[in-house]
Structure 1
Amino acid sequence: MTLAEERTTTTHPLDPMTADEVRAVREILAAAGLLGESVRFAFLALEEPAKAAVRAHQPGDEVDRRFRAILLDLADGSSKDVVVSATRSTVDELREIDPVTDGQPPIIDTEFELIEDILGAEPRWTDALRRRGLDPATVRAVPLSAGSYDHPEETGRRVVRALGFQQFHEKDHPWAHPVDGLVAYVDLTARAVTKVIDHRDLPVPQEPGNFDDPAQTGPHRTSLKPIRITQPEGPSFTVEGSRVRWQNWDLRLGFNEREGLTLHEISFHERPVLYRASVAEMVVPYADPSPVRFWQNYFDCGEYMFARYTNSLELGCDCLGEIRYFDAVVADDLGQARTIRNAICMHEEDFGVLWKHSDMFAGSHETRRQRRLVVSFFTTIGNYDYGFYWYFYLDGTIELEAKATGITFTSAYPAEGHSYATEMAPGLGAPYHQHLFCARLDVSVDGDRNAVDEVDAVRVPVSEANPYGNAFREARTRLTRESEAARAADNTRGRVWHIVNPDRQNRFGRNPAYVLYPEGQPTLLADESSSVHARATFATKHLWVTRYSDAERYPAGDLVNQNPGGAGLPAWTAADRDIDGEDIVLWHTFGLTHFPRPEDWPVMPVDYTGFKLKPVGFFDRNPTLDVPPSAQGHCHGG
């Protein structure tokens, strides 16, 4: 019996992909003649069933496990989008990808490995290095996504751009030694350099950036005393397969190489809140307009499948306490299963005071501790490391925190100064840039029919009704169509968005809701005429609201690499669908605008960004009145 003929061991349509399923998919594709010596897997993940099918699933029902694969032929650059049923051993869908209109599959590891050999055989590159007094063998070439800039020789071709960084020895971090003023344009299919731009000679910074070298760091401090987090009776959560229950929360965990951690069927007190939540895209646009760097903008999810590089987390380093780890399965370039050990970390942690009051009249002194469930993963993509932490609180709050750390991307810093970079070390710059994430929130507040109200805090003018001018109120605007629902945050007005269920009422006659609290930091700063603006239109607004569609998963479109722009949210919202009391999806852009500091070098302390979802009118009163006082007897109450 073949793997494809064996029954799947999964019991729910949203269970994560298994190693056996990866092998079964590969077997089916090979039998269909779709694999060959030069064919590589650029993407493989569970093709999640339509929401209606998941809703209809009952325990014991047969599960049809389908998977989407993007296949890239290295020989001619052609690619295919394929959907396979591992349950029925069939190819259900097959489509040729048009590289001009659709874009290109993501860049894969095999192509990264080709770059230095391609550049090493190109005299324009090696001569430019030698003229700078550099041995080409000491220069690490970094292949980077090319974007889309209407260069005729790149139309329909699979290309990257490469910058160089000198590495003085095996343990040296080359990011400290950028070879600036030089860039190579590479055709990956032809395995040839199409252009070398040798714009300017800039000295290679010499000071090392080896943050893991005791010669640079000095001896470790000895003044930190141990912190040990223990739960003698074990954790408060329970796990059954991919399903997690904790303190009135119920949810499912998923994982794929494009989004990383995904969350499904999230409910609180047995009432639905979110059907699905993930970080569906991110873009890192850089501000340096020089001829060798103007093109720098990276879509880490869509161009690189950044969750392929998810870290195996370690107790005491990445997670503290009573930890439950989950492995994740992805496919490598050859379509072989690769298990990422400890890809997802889950634990609960104390989070200070939940509520407290000392009352002079009643003589009561009560304090309760807040606690949260933490579900997280960390991934390294090139120089940066990103952590994504979903927090679930006792009071019904959901928070996403994205953590950015690692090494800032570097440039030279010329003697005359630099208008678009910070000097980090002698002659070393770090260009200004943004990290803009887009969370896809398939909301289901008390059911699938939801609507969105934009709520602002507004001043009330002095009048007969407000003679002393102290009044202010909330202004509420229902967003009824997609054309009205591409919105910017406004912190001067305390703008938030209420996701309401118009079919239900609480005891006050109001619709139960969850509120999205944005941080309101800058959206995409690139000019409206720029290529990155066309390709990352999602990042120009803090909020988009769309009518739910099974096919609409990624805010910049399915194929982001070398896509000319206009895909994803701008294309979908052109239909201007009704979103008032419908099955809707929120897309929330949040992120960091990074003017690097010297303190960010040679490794960057974590910077934080994110958002919160909080219940409002979802309950008739505080839902945590039943939380007991702390057992240690050091707090009032009880």
Structure 2
Amino acid sequence: MVSSTKTVSHPLDPLQPEEIEAAYNILVAEYDLGEASLCIKVELDEPSKEAMQAYDDEGESPTRRARIVIRKSADRETISAVVDLDAESVVDLEHVDGQPSIAIEEFIECEETVKAHEEWQQAVKARGVENTDRAMVDPWSVGHEFIPESVDRSKRLAHGLTFLRPSEDDGDEGYAHPISGLHTFVDLDRMEVVEVVDYGPPDEDDPIPPKGMAYREGDVDFRDDLAPYNVDQPDGPSWSVEGRKLEWQNWHMRVGWTQREGLVLHEIGYEDDGEVRPIIDRASCVEMSVPYGDQNINDRFKNAMDVGEYNIGRLAKSLTNGCDCLGHMHYWDAVMNTAEGEINRLENAICLHEEDNGTLWERSDWRTQSDEVRRRRRLVVSFVAAVGNYDYIFNWYFYQDASMEVEVRLTGIDSVSAVGPDEDPEGYGELLAPQLNGPIHQHFFNFRLDMNVDDGPNSLYRVQNQQVPVGPGGLDPMGDADERTTNPGGQAFYADRTKLSSETQAKDLIDPLKGRYWQVVNPSAENSLGKPTGYRLLPGGNVEAAMQPDSSVLERSGFIKYHLWATPYREDERFPAGTFPNQHPGGAGLPAWTEADRNLEEEDLVLWYTLGVNHVTRPEDWPILPAQVYSFKLQPVNFFDESPAIDVPPQHAIDGQDVPGHGSCHVDADDD
């Protein structure tokens, strides 16, 4: 196991501890932040593409800059500043019309504020709870439409939901005992309760669900028939890591981090005949939306945007050898800031490891009784974020056939509410345990892929199956204009390729019944067959947004209307729901940018893919949700002249065994 954070060796390396401290001190020295100000984030202000091109061509290092977001609580103002670390000066500062994301320190203080409030205490005691210290309060973002009319929406707000722990020393076991009907709105700037709304419990005689939850080691009787499974890499891993530079099986990339997005991958390319060919300049998960569909007053407001409202990178966990990953690991720390502008180092935030992943390719010839088999290995770059009750695992997989896969695993604890003993919420929710309702909800993850296939410019196509009509009018559009034929057998179909020339044309939904995918090509680069090189995005499981078009959810999270968006690259277009989505009424980001319907032909293209998950809960999800797995893939198309996986050696060659071509896998037979 290796854990390291080296000094800056590349312009895209995240800010180092000394840089974060210096940036904040420079800002404080030049600008009066006043009292009770919060340092929401200090991140690298990434160099422009022009600056990076100059660095690659001439070795000219761009100016090292930091972007800082501050909430001036006393003045109810938000400022965004850029600090030039080389010149040690503030080079840009603007007052922002919007609320920045909520800091984890605010979460902690918000809970303390609610628990000290007398009206809240009385509401909890009215439900038969004498020791209110047992309660825990989760501060949710308030959105926009679901704020009581009596509360000033211009304030910086949080919506506190209350749960009851079995004792003061218990952790998240309180999620099994929601105190439903009790809603507390907190002014985070003043850190004071502005409204307590109590709709009352679903059942006066039995106000809190009785059943607890047991899932921790020591609380569960384990099955005893599971044999050890050990991953042994006696010669170490196959990757090469130098600082933030990662190389593995012809893949090249840089591993970055931001407090908002978590893991960011830069300069993803594939080495072919000694040349590293660019594929993606920058890739990350840039926003989430988790809308709930229950009509109940206690659940219908829920719609967390975990990237923009909470800074999912700040909610990442430290990964553990042998638990989150197996085999030989390399870790990168994440260096972030606290609300006081001090250093917050999260050790082992990013894990790197290899996995065996079944068969890469196989061919068996029945005539000669010969066979060739190759095992598939994949590289995994991952991080895990604990967002309230949910845990999200983000895995970026890289394969030996030059394909890649982006995967999200959802686990943790379902968000629940209480129902009466005889109440069944079936449809809008499901019973997970006695009096525990798991409301129906969806999870949407938007991934921003700044494409750069073969150094661009790129164009975009939709590819899908197209049937050919039968009979006299059944012309074959793939045939020669003068020799078109009919489709007499009725079996003919072809892959229709439609160029998506503008932003409006590119707004698209998946269609698995037609085999729909999207292909990014470089018209000026060809393989030996004369075909433009490209990569295709293959959608996996997905779901359409289920809420009404004029709902607050779709106004604020407009990016979930489509699975695919495409835009020409613009440096300031980074987040699909806008830079400051917290409490924003909606319309910002992708919906606003694409109104211009800009050209996409031979452009510096950015793909935005929305991965949707439908979660109809079930008792098998309780008390811990087994990981729900969803992904999409990127595969080369005409990027090579033949399969790039041809040169992967058989297992016996990797193991150093002298085994002839026939029977390249060794099997241990059981003794009779």
* Structure 1 Cα separation of the partners of residues 531 and 111 of structure 2: 63
Give how far 1:362 is off. 5.0
**Which has the larger displacement, 460-469 or 54-63?**
54-63
Q: Does the CA contact (< 8 Å) of 1:41 and 1:70 recur in 2?
A: yes
**Match for residue 209 of structure 2 among 195, 205, 221:** 205
Distance 1:343 1:230 in 2: 23
| Deviation for aligned residue 1:41 | 0.9
Cα displacement (A) at 1:382: 0.7
Q: 1:526 to 1:35 in 2, by over 3 A?
A: same
Match of 2:538 among 495, 513, 517: 517
2:295 to 289, 293, 296: 289
With structure 2 as the length reference, what TM-score do the two structures score? 0.90
- 1:374-419 deviation digits (Å, cap 9, x = unpaired): 1111111111111111111000101011111111111113322114
Deviations 1:303-322 (A, max 9, x none): 00011121111111111111
Query: What residue is the counterpart of 2:239 in the other structure?
Result: 237
The one-letter code matched in structure 1 to 2:318 is: S
Give SS of 2:632's match: strand
Counterpart code for 1:335: G
TM-score normalized by structure 1? 0.95
Which residue number in structure 2 is paired with residue 493 of structure 1?
Answer: 514
Q: How does 1:457-468 map to 2 (within 5 A)?
A: 457-463=465-471, 465-468=486-489
Structure 2 matches for 1:82-231, cutoff 5 A? Answer: 82-98=81-97, 103-135=98-130, 136-149=132-145, 151=149, 153-169=151-167, 170-172=169-171, 173-202=173-202, 203-212=207-216, 214-215=218-219, 217-218=220-221, 220-231=222-233
How much does 1:360 deviate?
A: 2.9
**Residue 417 of structure 1: which of 393, 412, 424 is its match?**
424
Is the 1:591–1:610 Cα contact (8 Å) retained in structure 2? no
3-state DSSP class of the match of 1:96? strand
Contact 2:52 2:62 in 1 (8 A): no
- The answer to whether the 8 A contact 2:419-2:437 is kept is yes
Offset of residue 78 of structure 1 = 1.5
What is the rounded CA distance, in whole Å, between the counterparts of 1:114 and 1:332 in structure 2? 14
RMSD: 1.8
In 1, distance between residues paired with 2:190 and 2:346? Answer: 33
Distance 2:377 2:108 in 1: 45
3-state SS in 2 of match to 1:405: strand
* Structure 1 residues 250-261: aligned runs within 5 Å: 250-261=252-263
Q: Distance in 2 between matches of 1:41 and 1:386?
A: 25
In the alignment, residue 417 of structure 1 is paired with which amino acid? D
Question: Where do 5+ consecutive residues of structure 1 fail to align?
Answer: 1-7
Aligned to 2:668: none
Checking the alignment, whether the CA contact within 8 Å between 1:523 and 1:589 is kept in structure 2 is no
User: What whole-Å deviation, never above 9, does each CA across 1:67-87 have from its counterpart, x for those lacking one?
Assistant: 111101232322111111112
> What amino acid maps onto 1:156 in structure 2?
S
Aligned position for 2:560: 539
Deviation at 1:520, TM superposition (A): 4.8
Whole-angstrom CA distance in 1 between matches of 2:453 and 2:329: 30
Distance across 2 between alignment mates of 1:276 and 1:300: 20
Matched letter for residue 553 of structure 1: R
* 1:430 corresponds to 2:456: no
Find out whether 1:549 has 2:570 as its counterpart.
Answer: yes
Residue of structure 2 in register with 1:339 after alignment: 345
Q: What secondary structure sits across from 1:373 in the alignment?
A: strand
Contact 1:520–1:542, Cα closer than 8 Å, also in 2 = no
Q: Is the 8 A contact 2:209 2:434 kept in 1?
A: yes
Is the 1:281–1:439 contact (alpha carbons within 8 Å) kept by the matching residues of 2?
yes
2:478 aligned residue: none
More displaced stretch, 110-119 vs 347-356: 110-119
Does the aligned pair in 1 maintain the 2:35–2:74 contact within 8 Å? no
Percent identity over the alignment is 42
Aligned to 1:5: none
> Does residue 1:579 correspond to 2:600, yes or no?
yes
Tell me the equivalent position of 2:617.
596
Q: Does structure 1 conserve the Cα–Cα contact (< 8 Å) formed by 2:385 and 2:392?
A: yes
**Contact between 1:399 and 1:611, CA under 8 Å: does it hold in 2?**
yes
- Residue 73 of structure 1 corresponds to 72
Residue 15 of structure 2 contacts residue 335 of structure 2 at CA under 8 Å; is this kept in 1?
A: yes
Aligned to 2:268: 266
Aligned match of 2:311 in 294, 305, 318? 305
CA contact (8 A) 1:39 1:72 kept: yes
1:313-324 → structure 2 map (5 Å cutoff):
313-324=319-330
Aligned to 2:16: 18
| d(CA) in 1 for partners of 2:28, 2:34 | 8
Instruction: Give 2:479's aligned residue.
Output: none
Contact 1:11 1:60 in 2 (8 A): no
How far is the alpha carbon of 1:227 from its aligned partner? 1.3
Contact (CA 8 Å) 2:181, 2:201: kept in 1 or not?
yes
Partner of 1:383: 389
Separation in 1, partners of 2:318, 2:601: 43
Read off the aligned partner of 1:183 and give its amino acid letter.
Answer: H
Please state whether the residue corresponding to 2:70 is helix, strand or coil: strand
Question: Residues 567 and 622 (structure 1 numbering): CA distance in 2 closer, same or farther, change over 3 Å?
Answer: same
Q: Report the Cα offset of residue 610 of structure 1.
A: 1.5
Measure the CA separation in 2 of the matches of 1:298 and 1:209: 24
Distance in structure 2 (CA, Å) of the matches to 1:262 and 1:228: 30
In structure 1, distance between residues paired with 2:418 and 2:249? 52
Which 10-residue stretch deviates more, 433-442 or 79-88? 79-88
Q: Give the CA deviation at 1:179.
A: 0.6
Contact 1:367 / 1:636 at 8 angstroms: preserved in 2?
A: no
**What is the aligned counterpart of 1:249 among 248, 251, 266?**
251
Q: Report the CA distance between 1:598 and its aligned residue.
A: 0.8
Structure 2: gaps of 5 or more residues:
1-5, 473-485, 665-672
Superposed, which structure 2 residues align to 1:22-41 within 5 Å?
A: 22-41=20-39
CA distance in structure 2 between the partners assigned to 1:106 and 1:594 by the alignment: 26
Give the CA deviation at 1:62.
3.5
- State the Cα deviation string for residues 422-457 of structure 1 (Å, max 9, x = none): 111111111111111000000011122111100111
d(CA) in 1 for partners of 2:487, 2:150: 65
The answer for the alignment partner of 1:4 in structure 2 is: none
User: 2-side partners of 1:231 and 1:121: how far apart?
Assistant: 54
Asked whether the 8 Å contact 2:51–2:62 carries over to 1, the reply is no
Report if aligned partners of 1:629, 1:636 keep a CA contact under 8 Å in 2: no
- Range 110-119 or range 159-168, more displaced: 110-119
Specify the alignment match of 2:285 in structure 1.
Answer: 279
Aligned-pair CA distance for 1:11? 2.7
CA distance in 2, matches of 1:313, 1:9: 22
**Which one of the candidate residues 355, 359, 363 is aligned to 1:357?**
363
Shift of 1:506: 2.1
Q: 1:379 and 1:600 mapped to 2: Cα distance? A: 19
Matched residues, number: 625
- The worse-fitting range, judged by mean Cα deviation, of 196-205 and 563-572 is 196-205
Measure, in 1, the Cα distance between the counterparts of 2:366 and 2:110.
72
Q: Could you report, residue by residue, the CA deviation over 1:196-229 in whole angstroms, capped at 9, with x for unpaired residues?
A: 22223222111111311634x22x2222111111
SS in 1 for 2:577: coil
Between stretches 339-348 and 56-65, larger displacement belongs to 56-65
Q: What is the CA distance between 1:15 and its match in structure 2? A: 0.9
Q: Which amino acid in the other structure matches residue 239 of structure 1? A: V
CA distance in 1, matches of 2:213, 2:34: 43
Question: Hey, what does 1:52 align to over in structure 2?
Answer: 50
